[in-house]
Structure 1
């Protein structure tokens, strides 16, 4: 950003960045209109450090089973219905049932998400909520803004 002599930032540059962010949000919202995949997810916890930090907001997109590959970050539901954001470390295809399973692990974890696996194969595609949007290997995120959501959730009875 362009520093000003009074210690602030150039308002025109701030306006440009704000406009770009709003355009990106609108584009993601439009693409999500005909999708059952939620547009955003808020990171809670430290299992994806250093890639993702608590309070980061990530953008999601839908993906077919074959479009999810090793290295992708996905959001899935656990058998108890909780949401998890972790990286795919393996893909298993059960050719008898034509079902895709994804072995997952947090970047900051030392073991796989075994308790969330089905039949020991991995997280089934049916529980994948979405794939985290990446650009050239960089996860597209908005740092810290999700803390507002986390705070509001913590205040609910």
Structure 2
């Protein structure tokens, strides 16, 4: 029983946090190398596949690897990043549409506008990321901890906070 508790404690305190940190670093490296791409969904045009507030994880892909039914991320004519399903492929462009949009609302996407192919999504995390990117989130997650760390470091190494010890001679009896 004691060994089991020890194993659980080691898992909770060391292994699981280490694995999470490694996973986050790997995702960060893949993102900076442009092998994967993160997108926050802003509309429900692809509902029920994914909905607003989800984070999409996509991979870099060539236009030759796209087939009908794939979900792709592309740059539309207005310069916005859009993620829709491919419904048809013609000689020089894809025809895409959102899952919850009627069939008449299709978009013609040139092959050079293609950016990424959808892999999977994480529900509702996009709302948290958008909040962290807001002014209140910036203050809460970055400025407040930075001020706290500055205060702790200043308190520890401040010349005004040094304790002085007076040395006493041993008493003789």
TM-score relative to the length of structure 2: 0.59
Give the Å deviation of 1:32.
Answer: 3.9
Match of 2:125 in 1: 145
Task: Identify, as 1 or 2, the structure richer in helix.
Answer: 2
Q: Deviations over 1:82-113 (max 9, x none)?
A: 1111111111124xxxxxx1111111111255
Greater Rg over alpha carbons, structure:
2
Q: In 1, Cα distance between the equivalents of 2:45 and 2:82?
A: 10
CA distance in 2, matches of 1:41, 1:76: 11
Structure 1 vs Structure 2 CA RMSD: 3.1
Shift of residue 152 of structure 1? 6.1
Structure 1 residue 54 displacement after superposition: 0.9
Match of 1:108 among 96, 100, 119: 100
Please give the alpha-carbon distance, in whole angstroms, between the structure 1 residues aligned to 2:123 and 2:25: 18
Distance 1:106 1:64 in 2: 21
1:41-52 maps to which residues of 2 (within 5 A)?
A: 41-52=39-50
Structure 1: where are the runs of 5+ without partners? 1-9, 95-100, 134-139
CA distance, structure 2, for counterparts of residue 50 and residue 17 of structure 1: 32
Change (3 A) 1:113 1:124: farther
Secondary structure of the residue aligned to 1:48 is coil
Alpha-carbon contact 1:29-1:39 (below 8 Å) kept: no
Give the TM-score normalised by structure 1: 0.64
Q: SS of the counterpart of 1:31?
A: helix
**1:131 corresponds to:** 117
- Please tell me whether the aligned partners of residues 28 and 39 of structure 1 are also in contact (alpha carbons under 8 angstroms): no
Unaligned ranges ≥5, structure 2: 1-7, 136-173
> Do the aligned residues in 1 keep the contact of 2:41 with 2:54 (CA within 8 Å)?
yes
Cα deviation per residue 1:14-57 (whole Å; 9 max; x = unaligned)?
A: x877766654544343334443x662001111111111011111
